[in-house]
Structure 1
Amino acid sequence: MTIRVPPAEAAYVDSVVRRLRAMLGEELIGVYPTGSLALDGYTPGRSDIDLIAVVDRTPPPETLTEIASRLAHDRLPCPATGLEFVLYPSGTARAGRVDAGYVLDLNTGRELPSKVSLDPSDGPGFWYAIDRSITCQSGTALTGPDPRTVLRPVPFDALLPVVVESIEAHLAATAEHGDNSVLNGCRALRFAAQRRWHAKPDAARWARSAAPAHAGLIDAAIASHAAGRAAGRAVPAAEVAAFLGYVLSRLRAASQ
Structure 2
Amino acid sequence: MTRPLADPHAVPAELRGYLQELVHRTHTACGPHLVSVIAVASVALGDHRHRRSDVDVTVVVDASSLPRGALPELAEALAHPALPCPAAGLEPAVHDADFAVRPSGEAGYLLDLNTGPSLPDRVSFDPSESPAFWYVIDRSVAHQAGRVLYGSPAREVIAEPARADLLTALGASVREHSAGEGHLADNRVLNGCRAVRYCRTGPWQAKRRAGEEVAADEERFRPLLRAALHSYEPPSRAADLELPAADVRTFLAWVADQVDATVRAG
Shorter-chain-normalised TM-score: which range? over 0.9
C-alpha change, 1:205 and 1:71, in structure 2 (3 Å) is same
Corresponding residue for 2:69?
Answer: 62
Matched, 1:240 2:248: yes
Q: 2:96 aligns with which of 79, 89, 92?
A: 89
Partner of 1:249: 257
Confirm whether residue 218 of structure 1 aligns to residue 225 of structure 2: yes
TM-score by length of 1: 0.95
- Report the AA paired with residue 247 of structure 1: V
RMSD, matched Cα: 1.5
Judge conservation of contact 2:29–2:71 (CA < 8 Å) in 1. no
Contact 1:170 1:181 in 2 (8 A): yes
Match of 1:15 in 2: 21
* 2:151 counterpart of 1:144: yes
- Which of 41, 48, 55 is the aligned partner of 1:42? 48
Counting matched residue pairs gives 255
Amino acid of the residue matched to residue 117 of structure 1? S
SS of equivalent residue, structure 1 residue 143: strand
Output the CA distance in 1 between the equivalents of 2:170 and 2:252. 12
Q: 1:176 to 1:16 in 2, by over 3 A?
A: closer
Q: Does the Cα contact within 8 Å between 1:36 and 1:199 map onto a contact in 2?
A: yes
Deviation at 1:60, TM superposition (A): 4.4
Instruction: Tell me which amino acid in the other structure corresponds to 1:147.
Output: A
Show structure 1 runs of 5+ residues with no match: none
In structure 2, list runs of 5 or more residues that go unmatched.
1-6
Please give the alpha-carbon distance, in whole angstroms, between the structure 2 residues aligned to 1:175 and 1:162: 19
> SS of the residue aligned with 1:31?
strand
Shift of residue 140, structure 1, vs aligned partner: 2.5
| CA distance in 2: counterparts of 1:38 and 1:118, whole angstroms | 25
**By how many angstroms is 1:218 displaced?**
0.6
Give the residue type in structure 1 aligned to 2:222. A
8 Å CA contact 1:32–1:143 kept in 2: the answer is yes
When residues 198 and 35 of structure 1 are mapped into structure 2, their CA distance, relative to the original with a 3 A threshold, is same
- Structure 1 residue 61: Cα displacement: 4.4
Q: In the alignment, residue 78 of structure 1 is paired with which amino acid?
A: C
Q: Percent identity?
A: 38
1:127 aligned partner: 134
Q: Deviations over 1:156-176 (max 9, x none)?
A: 232111101110111122684
- Per the alignment, residue 174 of structure 2 pairs with 167
Aligned-partner Cα distance in 2 for 1:170–1:31: 28
Is the CA contact 2:56–2:92 (under 8 Å) kept in the aligned structure 1? yes
In structure 2, the residue matched to 1:32 is: 38
Contact 2:39–2:146 (8 Å) recurs in 1 = no
Runs of 4+ aligned residues of structure 1 deviating over 4 Å after TM superposition are none
Q: CA deviation at 1:16?
A: 0.2
Aligned-pair CA distance for 1:87: 0.5
Tell me the equivalent position of 1:208: 215
Q: Is the 8 A contact 2:224 2:243 kept in 1?
A: yes
Residues 114-134 of structure 1: per-residue CA shift (max 9 Å, x gap): 011001011222100000100
Q: Could you report, residue by residue, the CA deviation over 1:10-47 in whole angstroms, capped at 9, with x for unpaired residues?
A: 10001000111111111100000111011011011210
TM-score (norm 2): 0.92
Q: Is the 8 Å Cα contact of residues 156 and 195 (structure 1) preserved in structure 2?
A: no
